[in-house]
C-alpha cells in the first residue's frame, strides 16, 4: 500500500530526498520507519515462502494426523 502512495503523485520523485519524503506518513511516521517496516515484511514473507512445506509433505502430515485420531 505504501508503494502506491509514491506513485499517486502526478510525477515521479525528482530526487532521492523527495522519494524519502514521500515515504513518510506526514509527521507521524518518518520515512526510515516505513522503509524498515516494509523491508521487514518482505523478508518475513520471503522466509515463510522458502520454509513452508511442500504439498506432498502437507498431505503426508494430514494423512498421519488423521490416522492417529482414529
Query: In the predicted model, is pLDDT for residue 62 greater than 60?
Result: yes
Which tens digit of pLDDT belongs to each residue from 9-61? 778 778 889 888 888 888 999 999 989 998 999 999 999 999 988 888 888 87
pLDDT at 53: 87
pLDDT of 3 over the 80 cut:
no
pLDDT surpasses 60 at 70: no
- CA distance readout (Å), 19 to 10, 25, 30: 13, 12, 12
Amino acid at each position: 500500500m505504501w508503494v502506491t502512495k509514491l506513485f499517486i503523485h502526478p510525477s515521479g520523485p525528482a530526487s532521492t530526498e523527495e522519494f524519502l519524503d514521500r515515504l513518510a506518513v506526514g509527521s507521524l511516521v518518518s520515512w526510515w520507519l516505513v522503509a524498515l517496516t516494509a523491508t521487514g515484511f518482505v523478508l518475513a514473507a520471503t522466509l515463510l515462502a522458502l520454509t513452508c512445506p511442500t504439498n506432498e509433505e502437507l498431505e503426508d502430515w494430514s494423512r498421519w494426523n488423521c490416522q492417529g485420531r482414529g
